[in-house]
Amino acid sequence: MTPSPIPTVCRLWTTFVLLTMVAGHAEQQRFEATVSRVRVDVIVQDREGGFVDDLTVDDFRIFEDGNEQSILSVQMVDLPAGVLFDRSRSVTTSTPTNLVSNTDPSSGAPSERSGDFGAMVFVVDFQNLDFRNKLRFTEAWEDLIAQSDGLQIPRAVYLIDQVGRLEELAPLTQDPKTLLDAAGEVSNRSTVRKSLRDERIEESGPIDAMLRRYRDRDNAIYTYELLTQFAEGLSARPGRTALIWVSTGISLMYGDAYQNSSRRDTRSDDAGSPNPMILARQEAFHRAANSANVSVYTLDPTPKIEQVAGIADARFGPIGEDGVTPLGASNQMSYELDAIRNSLRQAAAETGGKAFIGWADLADVLRDIEADTGRYYLLTYAAPQPEGDGEYHDIRVEVLREDIDVRARDGYYYYLADDRRSRFVSAALSLPGTVADLPLKAQATRSWSANGMASVMVSIALSAEEVGLSVDEDGVYAGLEVHAAVLNDRLETKEEHHGGLQRRLRRSSAMQLNALAGMSQINSLPRGELLVYRMEWVLPPDEYDIRVMVLDETTGRVGSARMFVEISEDESAEWRTSDLLLIETDGANKARPVVNGRIPARRIVSAFLEVYNGVTPSVSGFIQAIDSAESALVDGVKIFYTPLDEDPDGIHRGAFILPPLSPGTFRLRLDIDDPGAAQETSLEANIEVLPAPVQR
C-alpha cells in the first residue's frame, strides 16, 4: 500500500503544477507479453566444434510433446557481426538486418537491438567455491576482459556470498571497466570455504560428519532454490541468456563420496543414494531455466590434477593421525566422488548449455561460451494452444544433417495469462540489472518533516519516442504500467507501488485509417520529450534497496532500475538539508521532477531544497556550461546570495530559477551557509539539456 504524502512533501509539490497521472492498484488494461509464439534458440556445430552457418528452414524439424510443429520462421543470429539473417527460405536470398541501430528512422518505432538477442550472466557461487579456485577463475576472467578490443555481448555479474545472499556486482553492461571492477570484487572478497577435497579428508568424528551431511543437504536445497528464482528473474529478458554458474558442484546424494567411504559414518542407510528433496529442486531449476530461455553453462575451475588427487583420497579413505586409512581400491569410490559434479553436467545438458570441468585454459572456456552465445539459430512456431495451460511442455529439435551436434532447451512452462503477467513483473523486480530493453532512468530524493520523519520520492523517466501507441474508443494513447518495491537490508519487502502512466494524443485522420486497417500506430509523441512518473513513501531509518520496473502496454517491452537509499537514525535535532531537487516546467506550465539531470529543450529549470533545524540559512552558487558551445554560460554565472524562508514548522525552503539553458551539459553547485547554526555545506548536480525536437 502506498502511504499518503506527509505535509512537507505536499507543500513542496503544491508550489508547482504536476503532470496528471493515472495511479493506483486497479488492474491495467492488458499485458501483451505472451508466449503464443514459442521461440527456440538452437546451436548447431560440426564435429570439430565449428558453427554450421548454412542451414535453412528445410533443415529443421521441431516437436512439442512428441508432435511435430509447423515452423513459422528461422533466423540466424550473428551478434559479433551485429546482423540477423532470415533463413525462412534459402541462404542465397537471406537479407541481413542490422542489430546495432536503436530505432527505425523511417517509422520511429523501436527495433530490436543486439542486447535483445543475447547476454551473458555470471553467477559466482561462493558457497560451493574455495579460495584457490576462485582466484584461478578471476585471473583468467580479468585477463580475457583486459585483452578484448570490444565486448559485442552484454554481461552481468552476480555473487552468492557465504551466507547465501545474492549480490549484484555489475548490471548488464558492455563496459570493460565495470566488468573488471566486478571481477576484482570477486577476487578480493574473502571466502571461508575450504576446497571439497581439503574439507572432506580432515579428521572428524561421527557427529561432525553427520552435521556436515545435514549442512550440505540444506546448502544444496537452498542453492537450487536460489538458482530457480534467478532463472525465473531472467524471464523478463527478451532474448537468449547464457547463465554461467561458477561452482565446484552440489551433491545430489545422501552424504557424498568422502562421507560414504568413511567407516566412522555409517549410520544412514540411505548414504550414497539420491536425495529426492534435492532432485526435486534440481528439476525445478532446469525447468525454470528452459522456460526463461536460459542456457546454463557450468564452470568448475578446479584443476584436473586436484580432481584426480581427490579421487585418490576416496580410494584410500580419510587421513587420520596414523596416516591414510585403507579402504580398498574400489573404483566405485572414484565414481561417487566425481558424481558430485553431475549437478553441473546435468544443468548444462538439460538447458542447451555446456559443462566445463577440469579445463586447463579457463580463458579458452570463456571464449567458447561467448561464441555459443553470439551465434545461433532462432526458430519460431505457434504454441498448439493459444492460451496457457500451466503445464510443462517438452521440446525436441532435429536437424537433417549428419555428423553434427544440436543443442536447444528441452521444454517450457506455458503459464496461464495472469500467472505469466505476475511472474513477468516479479522477474523484472527481482533482477533489475538484467532487464534493459526499455531504457529507463530513475532517482530517489529524500526530504524530512519537522518531526524528523523521512520521505523518499522516486522519479522515473523514459524517452517518449521509445514507447508504443495503442488505440481505444477514446483515441490514441501511450500506456505504461509502473511497479516498484522497497526492500530493507534484509531483503524484506517494506513497501510496494502499482500504478500507471497514460499519455493521450489527439487523433489524426492518418491514425484513424491505421486503426481501421489494424495497422500499428506511428509514434508521434514529440522527439526529445520525457515521460515522467513519481511515487513516494514515508520510511523509517534503515538501508533500502528500491527497485522499479516499467512495462509498455503496447509493445510488451520492459525497463527496470535500482537505487540504494539510506535513512539515518532519528536526527530530528540535528542540522541537515534535503537532497537537491531539480524541477522543469514547460510552456503549458506543467512541472515535472528532473530525473538524473536530463531535461528536454526549451524548459524552465528550478532548483529546490530544504534546511532542517536551521537558524539563518542562505544559498549562493554557480552554474557553468561543461559542453554547450551555444550557451552564454561557458564562463559560468553566479547564483546570487538568497536567504531561505522559514515556514511555521521551522523548515527553511528555497526555490531558485536557473538561467536559460541551451542544449548541452552544465554543472550546478549550491552553497548553503547558516552562520547562526555554524553550519555550511554544498549540493551539486550535473544537468543535461537534450537537443531541440526535430520537426517531423
Q: Got the DSSP string for 432-456?
A: GGG-BSS--EEEEEEEE-TT--EEE
Rounded Cα gap, residues 581 and 595, in angstroms: 9
Q: Tell me if residue 480 falls in helix, strand or coil.
A: strand
Burial of 535 (0-12, 13-18, 19+ CB in 10 A): buried
pLDDT bin (cut points 50, 70, 90) of residue 298 is very high
Q: Tell me if residue 572 falls in helix, strand or coil.
A: coil
Whether the per-residue pLDDT at 600 is higher than 60: the answer is yes
Average pLDDT score over residue span 195-199: 50
Whether the per-residue pLDDT at 458 is higher than 50: the answer is yes
pLDDT bin (cut points 50, 70, 90) of residue 23 is very low
pLDDT tens-digit map of 528-547? 678 888 999 999 999 999 99
Rounded Cα gap, residues 426 and 421, in angstroms: 9
- Averaging pLDDT over each range in 80-84, 317-321, 335-339, 653-657, which range is the top one? 653-657
Whether the per-residue pLDDT at 16 is higher than 50: the answer is no
pLDDT for 691 equals 80
Whether the per-residue pLDDT at 131 is higher than 70: the answer is yes
pLDDT for 199 equals 54
Whether the per-residue pLDDT at 209 is higher than 70: the answer is no
CA nearest to 429, candidates 239, 561, 241, 240: 561
Q: What percent of the chain stands above pLDDT 70?
A: 74
Whether the per-residue pLDDT at 267 is higher than 70: the answer is no
Average pLDDT score over residue span 201-221: 68
Q: What percent of the chain stands above pLDDT 90?
A: 20
pLDDT tens-digit map of 612-637? 999 999 999 888 888 877 677 888 88
Q: Which residues contact 542 (CB under 8 A, 6 or more apart)?
A: 488, 489, 494, 566, 567
Q: Tell me if residue 319 falls in helix, strand or coil.
A: strand
- Averaging pLDDT over each range in 117-121, 425-429, 643-647, which range is the top one? 643-647
C-alpha of 229 from chain center: 13
Question: Which DSSP category does 29 fall into?
Answer: S
198 φ, ψ (degrees, to nearest 5)? -60, -40
pLDDT for 396 equals 93
pLDDT for 60 equals 94
Least confident of 19-28, 198-207, 517-526: 19-28
Position with higher pLDDT, 270 vs 303: 303
Least confident of 267-271, 301-305, 379-383, 648-652: 267-271
Position with higher pLDDT, 92 vs 179: 179
Q: Tell me if residue 96 falls in helix, strand or coil.
A: strand
Rounded Cα gap, residues 612 and 26, in angstroms: 37
425 φ, ψ (degrees, to nearest 5)? -65, -45
Average pLDDT score over residue span 435-444: 84
Least confident of 91-100, 199-208, 221-230, 440-449: 199-208
N-term to C-term CA, the chain: 42
Position with higher pLDDT, 235 vs 495: 495
Position with higher pLDDT, 267 vs 343: 343
Average pLDDT score over residue span 437-441: 84
- Averaging pLDDT over each range in 332-346, 569-583, 593-607, which range is the top one? 593-607
> How far, CA to CA in Å, does 533 sit from each of 441, 489, 537, 539, 672?
11, 26, 14, 20, 29
Q: Tell me if residue 695 falls in helix, strand or coil.
A: coil
pLDDT for 312 equals 47
String of DSSP letters for 508-555 = PHHHHHHHHTTPPPP--SPTT-EEEEEEEEEE-SEEEEEEEEEEETTT
CA nearest to 536, candidates 62, 32, 9, 83: 9
CA nearest to 499, candidates 1, 21, 24: 24
String of DSSP letters for 486-514 = EEETT--EEEEEEEEEEEEEPPPHHHHHH
Rounded Cα gap, residues 186 and 166, in angstroms: 13
Least confident of 150-164, 283-297, 506-520, 592-606: 506-520
Rounded Cα gap, residues 560 and 433, in angstroms: 7
pLDDT for 9 equals 35
Question: Which DSSP category does 21 fall into?
Answer: -
Residues 83 and 99: beta-carbon distance below 8 Å: yes
Q: Taking the complete model, does pTM exceed 0.75, yes or no? A: no
Longest dimension (CA), the chain: 93
Average pLDDT score over residue span 431-445: 83
Other C-beta atoms closer than 10 Å to the C-beta of 635 total 8
Rounded Cα gap, residues 41 and 380, in angstroms: 9
Q: What's the mean pLDDT when you consider all of the chain? A: 76
Whether the per-residue pLDDT at 653 is higher than 70: the answer is yes
pLDDT for 92 equals 56
Amino acid at 155: R
Average pLDDT score over residue span 383-405: 86
Least confident of 80-89, 374-383, 399-408, 480-489: 80-89
Whether the per-residue pLDDT at 411 is higher than 80: the answer is yes
Whether the per-residue pLDDT at 245 is higher than 70: the answer is yes
* Torsion, CA 500, CA 505, CA 507, CA 509, rounded to 10: -130
String of DSSP letters for 618-677 = EEEEEEEEEE-TT-TTTT-EEEEEEEPEE-TTS-EEEEEEPPP--SEEEEEEEEEEETTT
pLDDT bin (cut points 50, 70, 90) of residue 146 is confident
- Averaging pLDDT over each range in 4-8, 305-309, 354-358, 515-519, which range is the top one? 354-358
Average pLDDT score over residue span 520-524: 46
pLDDT for 167 equals 83
Average pLDDT score over residue span 262-287: 70
Position with higher pLDDT, 486 vs 553: 486
CA nearest to 315, candidates 306, 302, 328: 328
Amino acid at 312: A
- Which domains occur in the chain, in start order? 1-35+426-571 (2.60.40.10), 573-696 (2.60.40.10)
pLDDT bin (cut points 50, 70, 90) of residue 517 is very low
Residues 601 and 692: beta-carbon distance below 8 Å: yes
Whether the per-residue pLDDT at 195 is higher than 60: the answer is no
CA nearest to 468, candidates 524, 506, 384: 524
